[in-house]
Amino acid sequence: MAFSISMYPQTDLSRIGQTPGGASYHVNYHNLSNRLFVGCGTSLWVFDMTNPAVPVILAKRPFTGLINESILYNSVLFIAATHDGVYALDATSDTLAIIDHYPVTGLGDIGAYDMCRSGDTLFIADKFKVQRLKYSQGIGFTHINPDFAPWGSFCVAERGSYIAVGKHSIFDGTIEIYNKNNLSVAIASWSNTKIQTVQNLRFSDSNNNIIYICGGPANLFTKSYLFALELSGNQLNEIDSFEVTGIPIVAQANITGIDSRNDTLYIATTCAVDTAYGFPLSYVPIIDASNLPADTMTMIDYINPGLWHFDVSLMDGTPYLSTASEWLGVAINNITTSQPLDTLPFIMTGGWTQKSKVIGDTLWAAHEGWGLAAYNIDSLKFINGYMADSKVLHLYSQRNHFFVADFEFLNDTLLILSNGTVYNLKPWQQGGQPDSLYKLNCAGIALHNAYTNMGQRLIVGTEFFGFAKQMSIFDPFNQFGNSLKTIDIHSNPKSITVVGDIVFYGFKPDSTNSNIFLAASKIENDDFVLIDTIQLPSNFNNLNSISIENNIVTVGSGNVIAWYTWDGAGFTLSGSYFNATMNVVDVSIKNKYLYIADKFNGVKIFDILQTTLAAQYEQKSGWCSNFGYQDICVGNDGQIYLSDFNAGVIIIERFDQTLGADNDESPLGIVEDKLHIYPNPSSSNITIEFSNPQMRKHTINIYDCLGQLLMSLDDINTGELNIETGIFKSGIYFIELRDGQHIFEVKKIVIE
């Protein structure tokens, strides 16, 4: 059954914190102050580069949009961020205090994609047109009418009396030149099918009539072009072009950024490769364009700053070039030595975020290309000053580039990453560094513990370039072991969820079948024993996520969610909800509320009992392509953690006020010491004493350290409750005292 539900949630939630980093996408060096401004995904980092070999962090500030451009104007730093707008920041403040904010909003994929400045006026390309903002001290931004250069304006540059605009188009890209004194009509234009997604523009250093065009990807990312154009009267003419090549998926060519000195050009090519230039490393070409238009552009040198680089900035006054690298943060290369690998130590900033988990007061975040990081949650919150030293652990290998899609805690001390590496955290817990113990042959994108008749097992979901979607069983403690059992599921492995020895997952009969099923199998004798399947509603074309609470199984994908009852032997459909504006990538059910990660729009909270949208956090994802929000996690206190591919983990205020051990609104008026539990730690059994006899009528729930419900006890008729703990594995567990919607206390116990 599909319910018709109000599109308007009752509550709007706010962002209250964020992890401070992301893959480097933008760099800009200011030579007068020796400062390097780095767009780390959606976070801005500022470094003192007085000694380029030893960068010193000065400030950090998180936003929600991908940082595309920065301009320092006197003491004001302007920032252009996709889907977030334009900011004026106090560049003298160690917190980069916000002076003013101009949101760039509208229908479609609108945002601050590029920016240039002429005097006190900013020109903002928002992918549809170019807007003008005047900035005044003490007043802030004022919009100047009218806007100009309609339809597809993506990048903008200025020089002298000219404004150049690069436009995206379905068939070809267009460059238009405007006179600043008359922006109503372009004085010249030029189009080419090789620049459909023109990325950037830059005027020549010596000739205002010459402009360089970063052409973006062409031929399925196998080629990209740099063009040099000359303005002659009302004509834009091509003078010369330069081509780089790539390999589909593996090494994609995309000229995205440019900087120059005396018309020597330094080109960010994303991942252009050539056997002559350090293959398989991508390269930054160095091009002599000083003799244009009489002569041609000539490649005179190159550097290898790492794979996947998006922007470059000359560090004027030094022999160095800074490069924003996806995998390595910021590379600082010596450009005077003709040694392509002459690179100072990399500045690590962050990576594309895939998944997060909360354990106690620590937030763990998995990153593509940056490994696994752990943060102190309180220090990430804006109310506490958003401290830059919030990171408490980082598992990263610059040589191996940890692409961590998921991670799992095998017990109190062992942690496994999705690449199969197992770490011993005990030395870290004692003040040192974790040990890398061994590596399983189980590189996957989803990991889950299972407790079976054969002992603890690891369930691994794998996917190879969109094909061969499988699910496997591993013995996580056998470092020499391969898969004990592997089956094809032909569905998104990220949807796999395990409770005890039951695994829930999406299943297609074969890769060509359009029907998709929700399935449950028992893991028995190291095999998958199918219990039940049920076909999902017809508007499911995949299954992105499954979440379970007690006997409620919730699923989501695309613009639909559904929920089922599970009796241990089979599924029964309870309801579904369709919303054409949703793009569900992850769901998490907690206390009968379903938290939905909407790929491009934020969070929706759905009340399963009332079948209505109860709340939302609405924010467009900062990346303008297929990436966006990836994962949602809800802490035991109801706080929400939303993983954004390029914005890190966004912390959102809690909606469900009944969650949390600090609930002072108990109908019994009892604030603390409601349960007395001993011995703790325990090796065989524990005793629970109630501080108030009425509490015996409530429910005791026991959860493992990842929040999975293991035991539930109701209507206790004795003053003491004895529980045999020998049935549990060694580890950390939580005992919860609950009455309906109210949680009175949560206590941690350790089973040895």
DSSP character string of 156-215: EEEETTEEEEEE--SS-EEEEEEETTB-SS-SEEEEEGGGTT--EEEE-SS-TTEEEEEE
Spans of the chain below 50 pLDDT? 1-5, 661-672
Q: Residues near 528 by Cβ (< 8 Å), separated by ≥ 6?
A: 471, 473, 485, 487, 503, 521, 522
Report the C-alpha gap between 322 and 302 in whole angstroms. Answer: 14
Scored b (16 or more CB within 10 A) or e, 523-548 reads beebebeebebeebeeebeebbbbbb
Global pTM reads 0.84
Which CATH code fits 149-304? Answer: 2.130.10.10
Phi, psi (rounded to 5 degrees) for 378: -60, -35
Indicate if the alpha-carbon torsion angle 739, 499, 554, 622 is positive or negative.
positive
Report the C-alpha gap between 29 and 347 in whole angstroms. Answer: 14
pLDDT of residue 679: 86
Helix (H, G, I), strand (E, B) or coil at 320: strand
How far CA 562 is from CA of 10, 499, 539, in Å, comes to 21, 19, 11
At 661, the amino acid letter reads A
Same fold? 149-304, 352-652? yes
Other beta carbons less than 10 A from residue 631's beta carbon: 25
Helix (H, G, I), strand (E, B) or coil at 475: coil
Burial of 485 (0-12, 13-18, 19+ CB in 10 A): middle
CATH class of the domain defined by 675-751: mainly beta
Hey, where are the domains in the chain?
149-304, 352-652, 675-751
Q: What is the CA radius of gyration of the chain?
A: 28
CATH 1.10.10.10 fits 352-652, yes or no: no
The stretches of 640-744 forming alpha helices (DSSP H) are none
Helix (H, G, I), strand (E, B) or coil at 344: coil
Report the C-alpha gap between 676 and 697 in whole angstroms. Answer: 16
- Which stretches of 74-161 are assigned E, i.e. beta strand? 76-81, 85-90, 98-102, 114-118, 121-125, 130-136, 140-148, 153-159
What tokens appear for 104 in the block?
A: 């760039």
Could you give the maximum distance between any two Cα atoms of the chain, in Å? Answer: 96
Each residue of 97-107: pLDDT tens digit?
Answer: 999 999 998 87
Each residue of 730-749: pLDDT tens digit?
Answer: 777 888 887 665 666 777 78
**CA neighbor of 725 nearest in space, from 688, 690, 689, 696:** 688
Name the β-bridge partners of 413. none
What tokens appear for 50 in the block?
A: 């007085």
pLDDT of residue 401: 66
Determine contact, residues 426/413, Cβ cutoff 8 Å.
yes
pLDDT of residue 58: 93
DSSP character string of 369-436: TTEEEEEEHHHHBGGGT--TT-EEEEE--TTT--B-S-EEE-SSSEEEETTSEEEE-HHHHTTS--EE
Scored b (16 or more CB within 10 A) or e, 110-129 reads bbbbbbbbeeeebbbbbbbb
Scored b (16 or more CB within 10 A) or e, 63-102 reads bbbbbbbbbbeeebbbbbbbbbbbbbbebeeeebeebbbb
